[in-house]
Amino acid sequence: MSKQAQTDPEIDSRIDSAIDRVLARVGSRIVVGLPLGLGKPNRLINALYQRALDDPDIELEIVTALSLDVPQPGHWLEQRLMGPIVERLFGDDYPRLAYMADLKGNTLPENVRVTEFYFQSGAALGKPAMQRHYVSSNYTHVARDLVDRGVNLMLQLVARDGQGRLSLSSNPDVTLDLVERVRRCAGHPLYSVAHVHPDLPFMHGDAVVDADYFDEIIDCEPAQPLFALPRQPISVQDHAVGFHAGRLMADGGTLQIGIGSLSDALVNSLILRHRDNDAYREALAALDRRVPPGIGDDDPFDEGLYGASEMFMDGFMHLYRAGILKREAFDDIDVMRRANAGVEVEQAGTGAVMDGGFFLGTRAFYDFLNALDEQERPRFRMHGVGRINQLYGGREALEIEQRRHARFVNTCMMMTLTGAAVSDGLADYQVVSGVGGQYNFVAMAHAMDDGRSILMLRATRESGGKTSSNIVWQYPHTTIPRHLRDLVVTEYGVADLRGRTDEECIQAMISIADARFQDELADQARQAGKLDPGWEIPERARSNTPEALERELAPLVERDVFPDYPFGSDFTEIERRLIPALQALKSLSESKWSLAKAALAGRPGHFPEEMGRLGLDSPESFTEKLYARLVAAVLGR
């Protein structure tokens, strides 16, 4: 942020006093556990971090995940585009996490260490301090790992209702599991501080705790706007992936999804299926890809879906508003069994339609949660990941009844031909994000008779003007082992790998790969003795190309059945054109020859609005004139 976040001196004083009490209680060796994502009390953390900067005798380890950071443009042209957007989305008073600024700038002091188990996607690439201190751990193991690392302090944002009750709100996920584990470890010290946030939605479920749950509660205004994610565009490629995945959803079933454009595409396809089934079936005919029989269906939702997902995000809000997220889960197993059998129950209308572990989303999503009335609010519950991400803990029978016909949908970066998934890192072990709860949900799907794991990915990726296949023969490491292979979805269809031989898996994966890479993949499998030398790639799969996909969906795209922003946009029309243009320009810059050609082809006069938005309408320097032509060239494409 270009401006320093401003706050009230009285608030600063109260926060400093809280840090004094923390140091008096905990001492100079501090291992602080922070919630992932939204639940971090930034000003409180920054004050603690500043103490460590001022006093090298303080040894501070910050253990957390998903340290959200406002975008930091790296180029003056990016700054011109992103500056007004960041100001609009975050205002000028969002307190950036100070440790993240120093961590990214490689200026973290020697007496401070930051240990994370999940990164904001791509944030740690090329940053050794972040890569070295990454913990690869299942989400359900994080509380255990925190205790093993000696956590002795916990800081968290919380919500408070009119009756004085506290809610862990966005982040009961690890907190509930951590406190329970500490209580079982007699003598393990843990000092906990809650900071009440007036805008944080009060959530029900296990998130509701007594006032004495924390050692200290800070009631002063945190002066911290809730971190809101901007809505991202959905490409034609992503729409196709989401559409195929949506066909696997069973009416009366259970849904788990994550965040990102693939999940948004899946949600959009489900709403299309429910609200405009004619258009949905038109898309079905256009794509003409088979899905495994008996897993889902293509009719509108009658019973609806129940959400059981570690992440609760905008997609579930849209499904609720569309009348799809409506199947109720009850905590009495006899009632749940009767409801599953189609028998009317007295509790109808009071069951949960959504159980989550943490939430993160757009400003509109937070407004939705805050606006829930007293009848709706208890239907959206939050719990610890020990309850959401697995079936252990004495509730297995009930949770299996609640999660019938479960479809646990996750994204990955790459898949091997034999069904292993690469979701968190690159070939050199640079971590992109983390394991999170993906393994938990994949394993849980295999533990349920009617559960299925669905992994979505794009068949290809672009980098430096080069196209690569995301379906590969092998990779140095994987996130999901091949013995847990199940359903895999690309823009070219669905591969059902569960219970299949290696050869059957290879054939299915090649059939949903991009046609440009199919022969090479088949040759690699044959050389390894895993594929019949006489096997031929199906003729239908030979048309797995971006051009064919765009032709198939063009009429539907033109009618806005598959729009770029199905759920609205946080950007202006001009910004929506410039964002992909600058991304394309960054990719183009990897080749001097490509840049030279673009500079000669660009016509800035053809794009007056875009040039004006970037301050390039009257370029003065040679550099500005050059960039005006380059931007015009990529816009012209």
Per cent of the chain over pLDDT 70 is 99
State whether 614 and 505 are in the same domain: no
> Which residues are CB-neighbours of 598 under 8 A, at least 6 positions away?
585, 588, 629, 630, 633, 634
Domain that holds residue 484: 236-546
State whether 400 and 279 are in the same domain: yes
pLDDT at 9: 77
Asked which of 101-105, 177-181, 235-239, 515-519 is least confident by mean pLDDT, the reply is 101-105
The per-residue pLDDT for range 386-435, each reduced to its tens digit, is: 999 999 888 999 999 999 999 999 999 999 999 999 999 999 999 999 99
Closest CA to 454 of 179, 209, 186, 269: 269
Is 568 part of any domain?
A: no
> Which residues are CB-neighbours of 38 under 8 A, at least 6 positions away?
68, 157, 170, 171, 200, 226, 227, 358, 359, 360
Asked which of 64-73, 239-248, 499-508 is least confident by mean pLDDT, the reply is 64-73
- Give mean pLDDT, residues 123-133: 93
Structure tokens at 388: 């959401």
State whether 104 and 159 are in the same domain: yes
- Give mean pLDDT, residues 3-9: 57
State whether 261 and 122 are in the same domain: no
pLDDT at 7: 61
Q: Is residue 549 a contact partner of residue 515, using CB atoms and an 8 Å limit? A: no
Q: Kindly tell me if the per-residue pLDDT of 91 is higher than 90.
A: no
Q: Kindly tell me if the per-residue pLDDT of 1 is higher than 80.
A: no
Q: Kindly tell me if the per-residue pLDDT of 2 is higher than 70.
A: no
pLDDT at 222: 79
- Give mean pLDDT, residues 487-513: 97
pLDDT at 93: 80
Structure tokens at 549: 């996909």
The CATH number given to whatever domain includes residue 29 is 3.40.1080.10
State whether 209 and 241 are in the same domain: no
State whether 371 and 471 are in the same domain: yes
Output the CA angle 308-310-313, nearest 5 degrees: 85
Q: Which residue has the higher pLDDT, 151 or 164?
A: 151
Where among 183, 218, 253 does a domain terminate? Answer: 218
pLDDT band at 296 (very low <50, low <70, confident <90, very high): confident
The CATH number given to whatever domain includes residue 416 is 3.40.1080.20
Q: Kindly tell me if the per-residue pLDDT of 285 is higher than 50.
A: yes
pLDDT at 4: 43
Structure tokens at 19: 């840090």
Asked which of 188-192, 251-255, 417-421 is least confident by mean pLDDT, the reply is 188-192
Is 562 part of any domain?
A: no
- Give mean pLDDT, residues 252-270: 96
State whether 470 and 500 are in the same domain: yes
State whether 583 and 462 are in the same domain: no
Q: Kindly tell me if the per-residue pLDDT of 355 is higher than 90.
A: yes
Domain count within the chain? 3
State whether 377 and 241 are in the same domain: yes
Q: Which residue has the higher pLDDT, 297 or 480?
A: 480
Separation CA 382–CA 378 (nearest Å)? 10
Do the strands 166-167 and 208-209 form a parallel or antiparallel pair, or are they unpaired?
antiparallel
Where among 497, 527, 546 does a domain terminate? Answer: 546
Separation CA 246–CA 275 (nearest Å)? 14
Is 44 part of any domain?
A: yes
Q: Which residue has the higher pLDDT, 64 or 592?
A: 64
Is 1 part of any domain?
A: no
Separation CA 460–CA 549 (nearest Å)? 13
Is 553 part of any domain?
A: no
Q: Which residue has the higher pLDDT, 582 or 254?
A: 254
Q: Is residue 148 a contact partner of residue 88, using CB atoms and an 8 Å limit? A: no
Is 229 part of any domain?
A: no
pLDDT at 6: 55
- Give mean pLDDT, residues 560-579: 94
Separation CA 401–CA 379 (nearest Å)? 17
Helices (H), 415-491: 438-447
Q: Kindly tell me if the per-residue pLDDT of 325 is higher than 60.
A: yes
Q: Kindly tell me if the per-residue pLDDT of 241 is higher than 50.
A: yes
Residue 333 belongs to what H/E stretch? helix 333-340
Q: Which residue has the higher pLDDT, 323 or 600?
A: 323
pLDDT at 599: 81
State whether 503 and 458 are in the same domain: yes
Where among 529, 546, 563 does a domain terminate? Answer: 546
Is 204 part of any domain?
A: yes
pLDDT band at 23 (very low <50, low <70, confident <90, very high): very high
Separation CA 47–CA 70 (nearest Å)? 19
The per-residue pLDDT for range 330-352, each reduced to its tens digit, is: 999 999 999 999 999 988 889 99
State whether 522 and 580 are in the same domain: no
State whether 386 and 338 are in the same domain: yes
Per cent of the chain over pLDDT 90 is 84
What totals of helices (H) and strands (E) does the chain contain, helices first? 23, 22
Q: Kindly tell me if the per-residue pLDDT of 589 is higher than 70.
A: yes
Separation CA 634–CA 547 (nearest Å)? 19
Is 556 part of any domain?
A: no
Q: Kindly tell me if the per-residue pLDDT of 145 is higher than 60.
A: yes
The whole model's pTM is what? Answer: 0.94
pLDDT at 3: 40
pLDDT at 10: 76
Q: Kindly tell me if the per-residue pLDDT of 189 is higher than 50.
A: yes
